[in-house]
Each structure stands twice: as structure tokens, then as C-alpha cells.
Structure 1
Amino acid sequence: MLASRTCRLNTTRSTASAGARAICPLRSPALQQRRCVAARGLGKDVVEGWLDLAKLVASEGSKAKSPYEELAYQIGRDVYVDIAGWHLFLRDMSAVPGLKMSQALATKLGPEVAGSRRGLLESDVAAVLKKIPVELGAGKTRVSLFEVMPSMCVSDLVKILDDYARNA
């Protein structure tokens, strides 16, 4: 298995001229047997580390999900703010520590949308976005979420909410 092997350095050459170079294990089976040695203990460490990572990833999915988790995912995937040409998606933006902006919007707008089959008007969504403060420059400046969100993203948010209302 090539993933659990490591190559010895070719030390027969002088280090002054070309220096030590690694020998490729894929050149021929004869070279592979003669010049590659199995690393001791590496496989166990890698496997145990991977299993720890797998447990962490698996435990993420076992958390209790809110009824608006899918809505939060769609908002976070498609809606962003634009700051000096940089797009910051709402899934990456914190509303408060431990809560992403997409989750906060889904929690706020989800109940309003779920009650109606038609969704919300763009003016209703804009009114909610205008009430959400966004701090810039480590709190030096405070603007509303509506001010840093392009009009196209506000329209996309309304479409996401309409689709959610139809499917809820």
C-alpha cells in the first residue's frame, strides 16, 4: 500500500553536488522493494486520527435541527452581502456569537412565511432587513443588513421565502 509507505533518501550521492533526493516509489517494483521502507506506527496514528474526525463529523449531524434548518441552508447558500466588491455569504456571517446570520433570518422569517402560502412581499422582507444591524470595522460603524445587501440578493431572498411557503 503506497499510502502507508515512505521513501528513503538516496544518500549515495554527495550532498554537496545534487543533494539528497527522494526516489519515486512508482518507477519499478524492484526499486520499490529495495528503496522504500514502511513507516512504523504511522498507519495506526493516521487511522485513529481519521476515526476521531469521523466521529466529530458524524456528531454534527446528530444535533437536533430546527424546523427552519433547510430554509437557513438555502438562505446561507444563495444570499450574501457585498462590501467593497467582496461577497460574504450569510452562512459565513455571524449575527451573534454562535448564531449565523442565515439561521437568524430563517428563525425570524420562517414562522411568518409558514403561516401564509404566498410568502412575503419584498417590502416586508426589506423592513426586517433594515432592523438588523451589521457592525463593520470591529464596531466602528453600524449599518443595516439591507444597506450592505445588493438588491438582487434581496430579490433572491424573497424567492427563497416564496418557495419555502409553497413547499411548507
Structure 2
Amino acid sequence: MSSESVEQLAALIGENVYIDVAKWHLYLRDAKLHIPLAEQIYPMLSDGMPSAAQIEALLKRTPVKLGGGKVELSLADLIPAQAQTGLMEAVAEFQRSL
């Protein structure tokens, strides 16, 4: 796994994908979630473009702590459908550049 490639994927994710908190959009780069997510998605690309179901499953098993750790939700619970579409588009754009 090339760290430069992961960083490129992370940059695309960080710029295009956000979590929604009370109608406030917090982009994954600002929440420091873009790199860990890219590190999980990048190996999936060796088998081609991951399906929406595979990405959804990954988001469901990615915990995000809120309120100083008082509450933990999955990333899937925090990313609205529109932003999940943006995630798929960012991954597809990155896949095309390989």
C-alpha cells in the first residue's frame, strides 16, 4: 500500500464527504476521519471498484465517538445519503486515476 496513494484517496474523501450534525456539514478532513477511511478503502480497490453495499458495510463498522466518548455511532449513521454518493464518486474518481 503506497502512502502517497492513500493520501490522494484521503484528500478526495476529505474534500467531498461530510457528516451531518444538526444540519451542519463537518467534512471528514476536518473531523480527521478521511485518512482512516482511506486506509480501509484502499485495499478494497485491488479487487476493482467496491460496491455500494461494501462501502456501506465498512461505514457501519467504523465507530465515531461523540461528546468526548459519551456516545458512539457508526459513520454510516452520520453520513447522509447524498454524502455517501459523494464518497462512491470520490472512490470511483480515484480508481480511474490508478
Provide the TM-score with structure 1 as the length reference.
0.54
2:57 pairs with 1:127: yes
1:102 corresponding residue in structure 2: 34
Within 5 Å, which residues of 2 pair with 1:10-159?
66-93=4-31, 100-113=32-45, 115-117=46-48, 119-159=49-89
Which aligned runs of 4 or more in structure 1 are off by greater than 2 angstroms? none
Q: Which has the higher contact order (CA 8 A, sep 6+)?
A: 2
- Rg bigger for which structure? 1
Unaligned runs of 5+ in 2: none
Q: Which residue of 1 aligns with 2:93?
A: 163
CA distance in 2: counterparts of 1:142 and 1:105, whole angstroms:
17
The percentage of aligned residue pairs carrying the same residue is 34
Deviations, residues 112-165 of structure 1 (Å, cap 9, x unaligned): 11x134x11111000000001111111111110000100111111111111211
Structure 1 gaps of 5+ residues are 1-64, 94-99
In terms of fraction of residues, the more helix-rich structure is 2
Q: Distance in 2 between matches of 1:79 and 1:128?
A: 15
Compute the displacement of 1:167 (Å). Answer: 1.7
Over the residues paired in the alignment, what is the CA RMSD in angstroms? Answer: 1.2
Query: Secondary structure at 1:76's aligned position in 2?
Result: helix
